[in-house]
Amino acid sequence: MHSVDTLDVAVKEGRAPWTDVQLETRDFIIFNDGFPVTPGHTLIVPRESTMENILRCFKYAVSMGNANVESKNSEITGYNIGINVGESAGQTCLYPHVHLIFRRDGDCADPTGGVRNVIPGAGNYRMPKLGHFL
Supply the CATH number for residue 64's domain: 3.30.428.10
Alpha carbon distance 103, 36 (integer Å) = 12
Residue 122 lies in a domain: no
Q: Which domain holds residue 76?
A: 7-103
Closest listed residue to residue 102, CA positions, set 61, 73, 54: 61
Closest CA to 79 of 119, 35, 28, 115: 115
d(CA 130, CA 116): 17
> Is pLDDT at 2 greater than 80 in this prediction?
no
> Is 1 domain-assigned?
no
* 121: alpha, beta or left? (left if phi > 0; alpha if psi -120 to 50): left
Q: What band does 132 get if pLDDT is binned at 50, 70 and 90?
A: low
Which pTM was predicted? 0.89
129 domain-assigned: no
Q: How much is the pLDDT for 99?
A: 97
DSSP 8-state symbol, 4: P
Angle at CA of residue 37, ends 76 and 100, nearest 5°: 60
Total tally of structural domains belonging to the chain: 1
Q: pLDDT tens digit string along 84-112?
A: 999 999 899 999 999 999 999 999 888 88
